[in-house]
Every structure is written in C-alpha cells, then in structure tokens.
C-alpha cells in the first residue's frame, strides 16, 4: 500500500494482490519504523458497515471501508477513478480520503478496460 498524505487529503493506492487480501477478509498494512522509537502504521480493511470510518490512534490507525462500495468498484476495474470519502475531523474540517487500485497493475491482471 502506498500512502500519500498532505494537509486534509489522504490517498491510498493498493495493488491487485492487496485488493484480493482485503476481499478475503484480511488487512493491508504500511509500517514505517521511525528513528524516534515509535512505528507509524496505517492499515486498511473492509467491513459490512455502510460508511467509511477511521479507528485507532495517530501513530496506528485503520481505515475501514464499506465492503459493498469496494465490491462495486471492483466491477469497474481497471479504471483510473478510485473511491472517495470525506470523514469529519476535529475543528470542523473534513479529511478527504481517496482509495485506488493501481491502474497499471489492474490492467496487467485483468486486461485492458472495456470502452
């Protein structure tokens, strides 16, 4: 999983193997071991809930995605568009989250997109 975070925008990009792990009930994790002694961990998993949610702490959080929306997205792959969610944050600002399956990996695994 690739994590790109700037301001109130978070982008997560996964490959087809990670997508399959999620669909099989597993988690996808990105872990950075920092020189400060703590790890910084971002995890992704699916749930039957109807909306996206974030759980955990600042240094170890999990983004939980609604399974139904992910499955609908899988039916469109390969495509450049991803899933987008806005989660309420402290101070009234929303955190914009975009989750994508790498389009090149998806095209390699699934074949070219139908037009």
E strand or H helix at 16, and its extent? helix 16-23
Whether pTM > 0.85 for this model: the answer is yes
Mean pLDDT of the chain: 93
E strand or H helix at 42, and its extent? strand 39-47
DSSP bridge pairs for 32: 40
For 42, counting Cβ atoms within 10 Å of its Cβ (0-12 exposed, 13-18 middle, 19+ buried), the class is buried
The full set of domains in the chain, from first to last, is 2-109 (3.30.1360)
Q: Rounded to an integer, what distance in angstroms lies between the CA atom of residue 58 and that of residue 49?
A: 22
pLDDT bin (cut points 50, 70, 90) of residue 101 is: very high
Question: pLDDT digits over 39-90, tens only?
Answer: 999 999 999 888 999 999 999 999 999 999 999 999 999 999 999 999 999 8
């Amino acid at each position: 999983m690739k994590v790109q975070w700037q301001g109130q925008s978070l982008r997560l990009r996964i490959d087809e193997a990670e997508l399959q792990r999620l669909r099989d009930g597993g988690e996808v994790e990105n872990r950075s071991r920092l020189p400060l002694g703590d790890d910084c961990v971002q995890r992704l998993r699916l749930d039957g809930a109807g909306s996206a949610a974030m759980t955990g702490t600042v240094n170890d959080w999990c983004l939980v995605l609604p399974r139904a929306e992910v499955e609908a997205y899988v039916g469109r792959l390969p495509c450049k568009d991803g899933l987008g969610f806005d989660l309420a944050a402290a101070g009234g600002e929303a955190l914009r989250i975009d989750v994508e399956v790498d389009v090149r990996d998806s095209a390699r695994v699934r074949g070219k997109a139908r037009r």
